Amino acid sequence: MGEGGFQVWTRRFGEDAERRRDTAEPDWALGATLAPAVIRSLQRFQTGEDGDGAVLVRKSARAADPDYLAAVRLFVAEEQNHARLLALLLDSAGAPTIAGHWSDTVFVTVRNALGLRLELMTLMVAEVVALRYYRALRDGTDDALLADVAGRILADEERHVPFHTQRLREGFGHLPWLVRVPMGAGWWTLLLGAGCVVALDHGPALRHVGVGRRGFVSDVAGLFRPVVAEVLGSPTRRRRWPRGAGVARTGHKQGGSRA
């Protein structure tokens, strides 16, 4: 019998958890030599990844879909692993983690105030921004340890986007266009606002790895466009993500958000 609903994601997340257990850790003994701007940027992203996901899990439980809930728990575990990797990377560079940052506080407050579907829309914005951020770190650094960690996280984030897309499509895809159009406009506003905040706040780090602020926002928008089309577009014109697949990896080298 074939897998339906979110069973495929439970299997996929489970397989990747097993793969991580069987894969050697990054070579922390190498140490990392990171520019101060990159360290400050990583500290802020690390605190954003470092959450227990309790609110998201609780909201997901109300959906009464055990397969989805199981997949969400595995998704949260992946995000917690990202926080662990970034903390160890910072330690390898002789830098501490930080207790929090204003941008993460605002983001979490907004997410927690919403229902599951609107929280996922907010979370999707963070996932898409993370796609471009970690690709910039992986492709733009000469530090082997940073490239390794960023590549591992990016591989996970590329899977998270279609996972959330499927849930959002099921939640919003059958709404009338008079509802979907303004919803899409609001979603775009949130994405562009978040992209600009990250571009400004992390601009020095992005420049260090060869990405300008304007180019970063433009690239984030390009990654977001097919997501909006898939979730809110006409059912007959939607792009179909391969079941269990990640987003397109155009221009990526081979390598290795927050719940």
Whole-number Å distance between alpha carbons of 136 and 151? 10
Residues whose CB falls within 8 Å of the CB of residue 61, separated by 6 or more in sequence, listed in order: 69
Within the chain, which residues score under 70 in pLDDT?
1-4, 50-52, 100-115, 234-259
Judge contact between 151 and 255, C-beta under 8 A: yes
Give me the pLDDT at residue 112, please: 56
Please give the structure tokens belonging to residue 191. 């994405």
Please give the structure tokens belonging to residue 214. 């304007």
Give me the pLDDT at residue 3, please: 53
Give me the pLDDT at residue 247, please: 46
Q: Is 233 exposed, middle or buried (0-12, 13-18, 19+ CB in 10 A)?
A: middle
Whole-number Å distance between alpha carbons of 230 and 9? 18
Give me the pLDDT at residue 173, please: 72
Whole-number Å distance between alpha carbons of 71 and 76? 9
**Can you give the pTM of this predicted structure?**
0.84
Q: In CATH, what number does 7-232 get?
A: 1.20.1260.10
Judge contact between 112 and 58, C-beta under 8 A: no
Give me the pLDDT at residue 103, please: 57
Task: Give Cα separations from 138 to 59, 66, 130, 256 (angstroms).
Answer: 33, 35, 12, 10
Reduced to 3 states (helix: H, G, I; strand: E, B; else coil), residue 33 is: coil
Please give the structure tokens belonging to residue 81. 């692993």
Ramachandran quadrant class, 183 (left: phi over 0; alpha: psi -120 to 50; beta: rest): alpha
Q: What angle do CA 58, 63, 68 make, to 5 degrees?
A: 85
